[in-house]
Homo-oligomer: A and B are copies of this chain.
Amino acid sequence: MRLYRKAKRLGIWDPAAIDLGRDVEDWRRLSDDERDLLLRATALFQAGEESVVHDLVPLMLVIAREGRLEEELFLTTFLFEEAKHTEFFRRVLDEVVGEPGDLTRFETPSYRAIFYEELPAAMGALLDDPSPAAQARALVTYNMIVEGVLAETGYHGYFAALARQGLMPGLQKGLALLKRDESRHIGYGVYALSRLVRADPALWDVVEARMSELLPQAVGVVEETFAPYDPVPFGLELGEFVAYATGKFQKRYARIERARETAPKTA
């Protein structure tokens, strides 16, 4: 409910209202490699945000059926925000980039494995199997890996690259708002996973197994995205990203693990 209230207060920005005029000029002045990296990032984020709109729907259905009204209310803001993120990146592609061509060329094997296989499978499974274990796998996939590692780390680097150089103020502004939305979404994932683990500490093993399964693929996405560049434009460094992702991940991991310890002791 705290997250729902925050979402209503902070999450009401409109992607259509962000001025991309300076961004169009800045885009023209970039080097080929810089343009290529920014286009790659925008294309992957746009496709990713589009996927997460669809893939959240089965989770909503399960939460609604369990009668968790407050979580359901929050999830409506969550879904609306993902839709706005999709719209924002579409605007950047249409208005700043212009004619980007076929964007699926940027999708690497690890990216495809996560967004075309792991994510839709883990979320879609909830339609037939709404068990706590299936929910835990879905939440780890969606909130911990896709949002917590890929989106958050990606937006951090994407934003930092532009902010350091004072480039593309409209895109910077949208990314700052997007990051704020994502951190509420990840907050929900940590909350819901902790609730599940507190109710049944044995679920911690499911959480841990799923994390170990997906973390290498998530790191693979970051590596494969940087692989074409030498040096990486905007002074970005792979190590910096991996450190950022790992640091955030470990803090959340520890919070959910604590839920196991505070679980009521039952036979």
Contacts and interface: CB of A to CB of B under 8 A. Distances in A.
A69 B61 CA distance: 19
Given A14-B8, A80-B79, A127-B127, A73 B87 contact: yes
A83 interface: yes
A201 interface: no
B53 A57 contact: no
Max chain B C-beta neighbours (<10 A), residue from A8, A58, A86: A8
A24 B192 CA distance: 36
Interface in A32-75: 50, 53-54, 57-58, 60-61, 64-65, 69, 72-73
Interface string A1-37: 0000100110010101000000000000000000000
A80 to B, nearest CB: 4
A54 B72 contact: yes
Contacts of A61: 57-58, 61
5 contacts: A54-B65, A76-B76, A76-B79, A77-B80, A79-B80
A147 interface: no
Interface string A166-191: 00000000000000000000000000
Copies in the assembly, this chain: 2
Nearest to A60: B57
A83 B87 contact: no
A72 B76 contact: no
Tier of interface size on chain A: 20 to 34
Interface string A78-114: 0110111011000000000000000000000000000
Contacts of A72: 53-54, 83
A73 B91 CA distance: 14
Contacts of A69: 50, 86
Contact of A54 (B8, B64, B79, B127): B64
Contacts of A60: 57, 60
Contact of A12 (B12, B87, B127): B12
Contacts of A65: 54
A73 B87 CA distance: 8
A45 B82 CA distance: 28
A186 to B, nearest CB: 19
Contacts of A50: 69
A5 B77 CA distance: 16
A73 B83 contact: yes
A127 B8 CA distance: 30
A57 B79 CA distance: 11
